[in-house]
Amino acid sequence: MGRMLIEAVQQSDDLVLASVFDRVGSPFIGRDAGELVAQPCGVIMTDDVAAAIAAADCVIDFTLPEGSLGHLEVARQLGKAMVIGTTGFNAEQKGQIQRAAESIPVVFAPNMAVGVNAVFKLLEVAARILDQGYDIEVIEAHHRLKVDAPSGTALRMGEIVAAELGRDLEQCAIYGREGVTGKRKDETIGFSTIRGGDVVGDHTVLFAGIGERIEITHKSGSRMPYALGALRGARFLAGREKGLFDMQDVLGLR
Ligand SMILES: NC(=O)C1=CN([C@@H]2O[C@H](COP(=O)(O)OP(=O)(O)OC[C@H]3O[C@@H](n4cnc5c(N)ncnc54)[C@H](OP(=O)(O)O)[C@@H]3O)[C@@H](O)[C@H]2O)C=CC1
Ligand SMILES: O=C(O)C1=N[C@H](C(=O)O)C[C@H](O)C1
């Protein structure tokens, strides 16, 4: 995602790449960040997180939960806005993001793509209509390098459907099945994960009834929509003092 974000900022008319940072020891430190997308731009990659964040109005972070939380703390100390695309946070870590957003503005969303956020709205409608007699399963597929499962997007889809049906996802989620599982329980929401090759990201929510099935599917063909969504998030935060937002807020879908 780092490469995608550099390319997306370079192609935008209104945003400036202020700095790019990576881990201590990364082979890219000291090199022109634009080289990563074959467009040198004079921004030298650094491992000095505080200096990099100080040089920007908004931090965009797609790393790992521990990395994002470290960067968030620096952004909070420096009073900078932050867009967090990282997934795989636990409840305690999400609480840390919520607390930081009491003093800085944060967009935190498991999927920045406009199409996926449209699907989130469609799922609210589908769940309202299909509230009786349909078994709900969330199926996702991603590339072999993805480290968290189910995807943040799949979990958000489950949360949306569960909320619409008055269920608590923590109580009703079933993550994969194996062995003699017994019959399916009515109120459960199942999650299935596929990992392989270079699948960018596919998500389906299946409403399986008796005699019919409804599938709501999104398929990503490129990672650019995630980067463009993150840039929309950064623009949305400009001029805001504090608060926690997601892409539904950014896109006016709330
Ligand atoms: N919200 C959305 O729309 C999207 C979210 N994502 C999420 O974004 C995250 C990143 O995905 P992706 O780009 O594919 O992952 P990659 O592994 O390709 O990239 C993550 C980068 O973050 C670096 N990193 C990890 N920890 C730290 C740290 N503590 N400090 C500095 N740098 C760090 C990694 O460095 P190193 O290689 O040295 O570990 C790596 O360069 C995932 O959680 C993914 O699920 C992805 C796409 C869209
Ligand atoms: O790791 C990825 O690639 C993606 N991660 C996000 C997620 O976990 O939902 C968003 C998208 O599916 C791509």
pLDDT tens sequence across 71-80: 999 999 999 9
Q: Are 100 and 156 members of one domain?
A: no
Q: Which amino acid is at 191?
A: F
Q: Are 121 and 175 members of one domain?
A: yes
Residue nearest ligand 1's atom 13 by CA:
1
pLDDT of residue 1: 98
Say what the ipTM of the complex is: 0.99
Rounded CA separation 234/219 (Å):
24
Q: Are 106 and 25 members of one domain?
A: yes
Other C-beta atoms within 10 Å of 186: how many?
A: 10
Q: Are 181 and 227 members of one domain?
A: no
pLDDT of residue 43: 98
Instruction: Identify the nearest ligand to the CA of 225 by its number.
Output: 1
Domain of 191 in residue numbering reads as 114-220
Q: Are 102 and 193 members of one domain?
A: no
Q: Are 51 and 136 members of one domain?
A: no
Q: Are 6 and 74 members of one domain?
A: yes
Tell me the binding residues for (S)-2,3,4,5-tetrahydrodipicolinate: 143, 152-153
**Residue linked to tokens 């509230």:** 131
pLDDT of residue 138: 98
Active site residue 146: yes
Distance 159 CA to ligand 1 centre (A): 23
Q: What is the CATH number of the domain that holds 34?
A: 3.40.50.720
Which residues line the pocket of ligand 1, CB cutoff 6 A?
1-2, 22-23, 26, 62-64, 66-67, 70, 85-88, 109-112, 148, 152, 226
Instruction: Identify the nearest ligand to the CA of 85 by its number.
Output: 1
Q: Are 130 and 83 members of one domain?
A: no
Q: Are 227 and 105 members of one domain?
A: yes
Domain count, the chain: 2
With the CA atoms of 41, 46, 51 and 55 taken in that order, what torsion angle do they form, in degrees rounded to the nearest 10? 20
Q: Are 244 and 139 members of one domain?
A: no
Please choose from 3, 20, 37, 64 the residue to mutate so as to test ligand 1's pocket, defined by most ligand atoms within 8 A of CB: 64
Distance 85 CA to ligand 1 centre (A): 9
What confidence tens digit (pLDDT) does each residue in 58-97 have? 999 999 999 999 999 999 999 999 999 999 999 999 999 9
Q: Are 118 and 161 members of one domain?
A: yes
Q: What is the CATH number of the domain that holds 152?
A: 3.30.360.10
Q: Are 79 and 93 members of one domain?
A: yes
Residues of the chain with pLDDT under 70: none
Classify residue 84 as exposed, middle or buried by CB count within 10 Å of its CB (0-12, 13-18, 19+): buried
**Residue linked to tokens 């972070």:** 61
